[in-house]
Each structure stands twice: as C-alpha cells, then as structure tokens.
Amino acid sequence: MKSRENKKDSSQRNSEEKNSVGEIPGMKIDPKYVEEKPLLPENIGQAKREMEKIKKELEKLKNFILKKHPKTQAIGILPKQAVKLFIDEEIGENLPEEQERKLREKIHLYVIVPEEKAKDIHELKMKIIEEIDKTKQNVWVYVKSVKDIWDMGLDSKFELVEAISMSFPLHDKGILGALRVAQIHKSLVIRKFEKYVVSYVIGGSLVTGEAKKTSDVDVFVIINDTDVKRMPRLELLERLRAIIYQYVAEASVLAGVKNKLEPQVYLLTDFWESVKDAHPVMFTFIRDGIPLYDRGTFLPWKALLKMGRLKPSPEAIDMFMSMGDKALSRAKRALLDIMIHDIYWGVLTPSQALLMLYGLQPPTPQHPPAEFKKIFVDKEKMLEPKYANILKEIVQIYKDYEHEKIKEIEGTEVDRHLKNSEEYLKRLKELREQIEQRNQEKTLEQIYSDVFQLLETIVGKKPKDKMIEEFEKRFVKKGKLAPLDLRILKEVASAKKQFKQKKLNSYKVDSVRKNAMILINDLIEYNQRCELVNSLNKTRKDGSKKL
C-alpha cells in the first residue's frame, strides 16, 4: 500500500515539476496558475497568430502611451499563465470568482516608466484607462516604475519578476530584453544545479539605471560548495563556469535579444571570504544587486550592508554620519536623560566615522576627543579648535551623567548643547568632504609619481610631454605595448590638472587608479622581459668568450 502511495506521490511530483517549468524557458510559474491546456507544438502557430493580432489591435494604445510619456521604458503583454499572480498582487485574493474570471479574460498590459517619472504614475494610468474606455478595448493596465520591479525582487516575489520578463513586448528600451535573457539563463542554471544554487542576482548598469538597449547584462551566480567533498574546489569552480557559460548562447537565442549576458560564478566559501576582506566588487554587487532567485542568503547580506554591519564600507561611514541628525532630532523630543544620551552619541559616532575615514582604526568612546583634536586640529589644521572643544565638553557631560554627577540640567544648557551639536555636525559634513578631497589628491599624486618614475626607467629622464611622445613612438606604434597603455598614460597625465579644476569626482579618481594599475603592471612586465633578454644575451656572450 505504501509503495503505491509513494509511486503516486512521485508521479504527482514529477507532473508538478514539469508544469512548473512551463513551455517558455525561464518562466517558472506556480502550478496553480498554469493553464490546464498547455501550449503544444501543433498550436504554437495559432498562438503566434493570435498574439500578432492582439499586437496590431494595441498599436494605437501603445502610440497613445508613448505620446503622453515618451520616456516610457517598456510596454508588454503579460503571459496568461501569470495573470492571476498580478490580480492577487494588485487587488487581493478575495475578489469574487465571477469578477476574477472576467478580469482574467482581459489583456493585461504592463507599462514601465523610469524612476524620475514615478510621481506621474497615477496620472498616466488614469489617462490610459480613459483611452481604453473610449476605444472599448478589453484591456487591464498596470503602470509601474523600474524601482517597483526591483522591489519585487527584494521582497522575494520572484514569480512576478519572471512573468514581467517573459511578457510580449510592444515597446522596449532594453529592460524587458535584458530581464528575459537573465531569467531564461537562470532557469537553465537552476534546472541543472537546483540543489546547489544559493543566489542568482542581476546587477550592473541595468539596476543602476545606466543601461542602454544593447548593454551587457551582469548576473552573479553563487554556488554552495560546502558539501562537495570529492573534487578540488578550483576544479569544481572551473567546471561550473564552463557549464554555466555554455547556457549563455542558448539563453540569448531563446530570448531573441542582442544583450550580451555576463555571468560571474562564485563558490559560496570564496564569496564569503571576499566579503570578509571587504572586496569592492562584492560590496558593489551586494549593494546594487537584485535577486531573481535566492534561498535566504543574498537578502540577509544586503540587509547587513545597509545596516553598516559589513565593514569597512562607505555604507558604514554613511550610517555613522546619519546617526547624528537622527539622534539630535530624537534628543529634542526626549526626556533629560535620553536627550543627554542622544546628544552624546549624535556627535561621537560621526567623529568616529571621520577618524575611520582618515585611516585610523575605530576608536573606543573614551578616545575620540583627544584623537580628534590631535589629528584634525593640531596635525592637519583642517578643523577649528572650538569644534574639538564642543566634542570634549559633550563627552565630559555624558561621563558626569553616567557617574551621577549631573542629576538635572537647565533648559538653557540643553538648548546650548543642542545648538552646538547641530553646528558641530554641520561642520563635520564639510570636514568629510575635505578629507575625501585630500585622500583623492594623495591617490592621484601617488599614481602620477609611480607611473612616470617607472616610465623614466624605460624611456629615460625627459619632460613629461616628451616621455609620452617617446612612449607612443617607440613602444605603442611598434607594437611592444598596447594602445590601451597609451590611453591610460594620457589619462593619468591629465588627471592631476582635471582634479585641481574640480572636473574629477570620486568615481573618476577610482577609475584612474584602477586603469593606472593596468599600465603599471604592463610596464613592469615589459621591463622584466627586457632585463631577462639582456641577461640571456650577456650569458651567451660570456660563454662564447670562454669557448
């Protein structure tokens, strides 16, 4: 009897697995939303003709939407299999059966607008509904911003994002195509490695809002390797990459787009080690990435980063800086003991943040006043003494309060400390900009010095312009070094001047630094090759003399 039940359960599971995948690769809809009649090969042509007919009928409505909002990112027809998902999400699950049936019979149109137009969503939706009523079309419309889609991923509503990506495009500036190729690739990867895939995350320019129609689609696949015992981890990673990369071409063909998929594959243990070491790529990935599939790993990382618990990171410094304003606003409304406590942490945590930004280890609460004065007032001359005195006075008041030396305080004193704290925080924000500016300047100075000192050993000591001309003439044009090296050299040479003219931001400075490392490595490698050739020639020459 048990055997029959097991067979029945197994058969039922297999049937559900087949239905969950669906006929469109990359679209994994809950079985309860899958149509009873699957799209079989004999009726594919009919379905295609029906879709083309619907597309033609909606052409005027599409033109109306684009006329009202030319910056509309995409307009797509949602798959029928997924319509109930969106009804439940938009209206709720308690809709009467008859109303739900009529609603599911409509064509569900999904309109995506850029984030800067999010405030106009309601107005645009009302205009579209008026046009639909006027033309008496059997259409139901959703108008959402790009951020709304990313929020679905962050809320683990992966089925909704999948359905949007697989919608039939009436208009697309790139977001639907990019999502579609990523979703199909994700489906292929999960079908192969479902037990081991921890997270499948989309990132890069698509998520940051800088993507074009043909932009690459950056995705990150994290594989759990903690229970793999029989294979060396390096070999495992190479095999995984080979298989996952094979799916890229297949996904692009199935998606019917030109967007190049760029998957990055990481083992879970390696990824976590990189996060602990504060690897910039991993922090950017966690900060900007949107999960298309997650088994409870990526979203906690993202939450920790937002909380500033993954250190060191810009987010952690921003968190400390922002605590001041939040703490002071609470202090104005709180009782005396809470006010003193919040004023204290309100000035202390941003002070710690700036000492960290300067390059010191996070100091204990007892040390910031002395360290702050020593570094920013006495040594760097970047801060006026009165601000160091404000910090010192507030820390001392808090200590006296802790030791019950202060049991009450005049209202005028509270107002004075609040005013001083607000002034102090305002000045600290300016100081942060000064420190970042100084750090960027030092970085550029060091890059400039390193590059031209190294270049001098190759082309000889000459004026900088002559060194660049000589480098181009002797090494780039003769194919000894790449044209990229020349471009980077010119970029480094002009970076100092541009920085003084305030034409470089922090992102550009970081880009110059990364590019300079490529040039430095190439110059070192070339220099080492020359030394090796000279050494070999000398050895041969000495050998011939002995003979």
| Bigger pLDDT: 167 vs 17 | 167
Confidence of residue 94 (pLDDT cuts 50, 70, 90): confident
What is the C-alpha to C-alpha distance for residues 496 and 144, in angstroms, rounded to an integer? 44
pLDDT band of 347, cuts 50, 70, 90 = confident
Report the DSSP beta bridge partners of residue 110.
76, 142
CATH topology of domain 314-435: Four Helix Bundle (Hemerythrin (Met), subunit A) (1.20.120)
| Residue from 382, 463, 484, 372 nearest 430 by CA | 382
Confidence at 4, pLDDT banded by 50, 70, 90: very low
Q: What is the pLDDT of residue 220?
A: 93
Q: What is the DSSP string of 131-153?
A: HHHHHT--EEEEEEEHHHHHHHH
Dihedral angle over CA of 218, 219, 225, 230, nearest 10: -70
Q: Which of 16 and 250 is assigned the larger pLDDT?
A: 250
DSSP for 490-520 reads: HHHHHHHHHHHTT---HHHHHHHHHHHHHHH
* Predicted TM-score of the model (pTM): 0.50
Q: Give residue 297's pLDDT band: very low, low, confident or very high (50, 70, 90).
A: confident
**Residue 24 banded pLDDT, cuts 50, 70, 90:** very low
Number of H helices, E strands in the chain: 22, 8
Asked if the model's pLDDT at residue 231 lies above 50, the reply is yes
Top pLDDT among 444 and 425 is at 425
CATH of 178-309, one of 3.90.550.10, 3.40.47.10, 3.40.50.300, 3.30.460.10: 3.30.460.10
Given a cut of 90, whether residue 202 has pLDDT beyond it is yes
Range of lowest pLDDT (13-27, 140-154, 392-406, 482-496): 13-27
Predicted confidence (pLDDT) at residue 8 exceeds the cutoff of 70: no
Provide the percentage of residues in the chain whose pLDDT is more than 70: 80
| Mean pLDDT for the stretch of residues 88-102 | 83
Res. 13: pLDDT tops 60: no
Range in 126-140, 230-244, 263-277, 404-418 the model is least confident about = 404-418
- Over residues 120-143, the pLDDT tens digits come to 888 889 999 999 888 888 899 999
| pLDDT given for residue 142 in this prediction | 93
Sorted by where each begins, the domain ranges of the chain are: 1-173, 178-309, 314-435, 462-543
